[in-house]
Amino acid sequence: SITFTKGNTSKGGGIFLSDSAKVELNLCVFSACSATYNNGGGGAIHITGGNLDIYGTNFFDNTADAEDGGDIYKSGGSITIHNTCPQPYSRSPIQGQPLDVGGFGSIVGQKYSFLDCTASTQAPTPAPPTAAPTSQPTSPPTSPPTAAPTPG
């Protein structure tokens, strides 16, 4: 997990995602990040391409000068929020939404989706663990090696 605090840039005060990038955020925090560009937004995250998967990530007090997507702004790519709802963990002052998402299209129509979402006061659910390696480590020898005789 990573905490992004007081990031300030023209687009995506915490993360700017573009092209074919693939990013997974797992139990991260975006707090008081801001975007200053007046044509767009994404105080915490600005995505113009690529794929973004979000697991149990919190957004607090992020802003965008364009007042569009104080938390997340999307003009391309895809965003999927897994196993958690933004509320009650997400608070953004712009537009009074629990998670302020702006950009082109709607949450349903433009590849935004909330999977297995249930409102709860419990902590967010982390991403599933990464698959373990299939090979087993080799065991150390059970007896010390014998030394070769020295010529004499």
Task: Kindly give the confidence (pLDDT) of every residue in the chain, 152 residues in length, as a single tens digit, with 9 standing for 90 and above.
Answer: 789 999 999 988 999 999 999 999 888 888 899 998 877 788 888 888 888 888 877 778 888 887 677 888 888 888 877 655 554 444 443 333 446 666 653 333 233 445 444 444 445 556 666 655 555 555 555 555 555 556 65
**E strand or H helix at 23:** strand 22-26
Does the predicted model carry a pTM greater than 0.85?
no
Q: What distance in Å separates the CA atoms of residue 112 and residue 129, rounded to the nearest whole number?
A: 23
Ordered strands of the 3-5 beta sheet: 3-5, 29-31, 58-60
Residue 143: what pLDDT? 53
What separation in angstroms does the CA of 113 have from each of 27, 41, 50, 94, 133? Answer: 18, 19, 15, 21, 30
Q: What distance in Å separates the CA atoms of residue 36 and residue 13, rounded to the nearest whole number?
A: 9
Residue reference for tokens 């059970």: 142
101 within a domain of the structure (yes/no): yes
52, 28 Cβ separation under 8 angstroms = no
Residue reference for tokens 């006061």: 121
140 secondary structure, DSSP code: P
Q: What distance in Å separates the CA atoms of residue 120 and residue 61, rounded to the nearest whole number?
A: 20
Residue 22: what pLDDT? 93
Ordered strands of the 51-55 beta sheet: 22-26, 51-55, 78-82, 112-115
Residue 101: what pLDDT? 63
20 within a domain of the structure (yes/no): yes
Residue 103: what pLDDT? 61
142 within a domain of the structure (yes/no): no
Residue 145: what pLDDT? 52
28 within a domain of the structure (yes/no): yes
123 within a domain of the structure (yes/no): no
Domain holding 63, by residue range, is 3-115
136 within a domain of the structure (yes/no): no
Residue 7: what pLDDT? 93
Number of domains in the chain: 1
